[in-house]
Amino acid sequence: MRILAAMSGGVDSAVAAARAVDAGHDVVGVHLALSRAGGTLRTGSRGCCTIEDAMDARRAADLLGIPFYVWDFSERFRDDVIDDFVAEYRAGRTPNPCMRCNERIKFAALLERALELGFDAVCTGHYAALVDTVEGLELHRASDAAKDQSYVLGVLTAEQLAHTYFPLGSTPSKAVVRAEAAERGLTVAQKPDSHDICFIPDGDTRGWLAEKVGTATGDIVDRTGAVVGSHEGAHAFTVGQRRGLALGVPAPDGKPRFVLEVRPVSNTVVVGPKEALAIAEISGARWSWAGRAPSERRFSCSVQIRAHADPVPADADWDPDAGALTVTPDLPLDGVAPGQTAVLYDGTRVIGQFTIDRTVSAVPVTV
């Protein structure tokens, strides 16, 4: 196959490209330039798209003896990921930019160009597995549960999966990948993993959002609507947050309070007891299936609401006519916010995903 290897400059994508070469594929490496800030340099292990990362990717490609290119996707990244991130926070939601990047950049914009240029598939260093069955191609969890990245790949469609290649899916651990990289002479063998939001390299999400969204004083209220404090911008708060609330009125029981809801229209933040973070039901109108769609409107599954959260057994009710997918977990979910992504599984197989629009608390309001 003709393989386009997406090379971030990290150890995983370098080893994935190397394995594609070893498998006899015709491989070309590409690094995506996602920022127009020409002087962007890596800070610690933050980010994944800096000048240093591009140089590391080029060195790896040279060692592997494959052609290498840098493609400028900065405009589309700004429109589809950064602007979406800001818009979601303005709407009082908690977005996951890595999900949007996979959905709209790596497996949409990149894959579209790859297919136009005659490539058969895009290769990445994600830890996930593809299984070809009589019912079609399936996306599964990786062998290494600690590194499994199937959650952030839950946005992929059947068509995208058909043109995707994950050489690391069956690798037992990241240590094996690093050892292989060192044996191959790849200089990124011990390079730290990237983390946090790549377009906010200093990690100050609140400050970054303040510059984009601005500040506006508003009320912090409890579940009854009583004012218990004030804030300088609802965008700075996320569901489940405890620190930085600076409440002027203590709770009657003296216990800490947590952010339960952000209401951007009224610029209000709702707080309450920790137990009120328990969510009994979630639903959304924007969903996709990673392969075949469920054959029944109602089906059993497990639901995962964060990249490293434990999956929870649940029942799903899919009503395409009404435009709703509702999931009821067997046990309450903790601190779920609108805007998060819920990924549904059948064992290790990814069924699909949806963006959470609505949550129902497991704890009723008491006055």
Measuring CA to CA, which residue among 290, 244, 341 is closest to residue 129? Answer: 290
**Residue tagged active-site, from 48, 49, 98, 101:** 101
Does an H or E element contain 22, and which?
helix 11-22
Residue 123 a catalytic site member: no
Specify which residues 209 forms β-bridges with.
none
- DSSP code, position 274: G
Stated length of the chain: 367
For residue 301, give the 3-state DSSP assignment. strand
For residue 7, the tally of other CB atoms under 10 A from its CB is: 32
CA distances, 286 to each of 96, 216, 355 (Å): 14, 30, 6
Catalytic residue of the set 48, 123, 198, 301: 198
DSSP labels, 53-108: HHHHHHHHHHHHT--EEEEE-HHHHIIIIIHHHHHHHHTT----HHHHHIIIIIII
* Among the listed residues 169, 112, 107, 179, the one whose alpha carbon sits nearest the alpha carbon of residue 144: 169
- How many whole angstroms separate alpha carbon 280 and alpha carbon 296? 22
Are 69 and 28 in contact by the 8 Å Cβ rule? The answer is: yes
Question: For residue 63, which phi and psi values (nearest 5 degrees)?
Answer: -65, -35
End-to-end Cα separation, the chain, in angstroms = 65
- Catalytic annotation present for 101: yes
Question: Would you name the residues annotated as active-site residues?
Answer: 101, 198
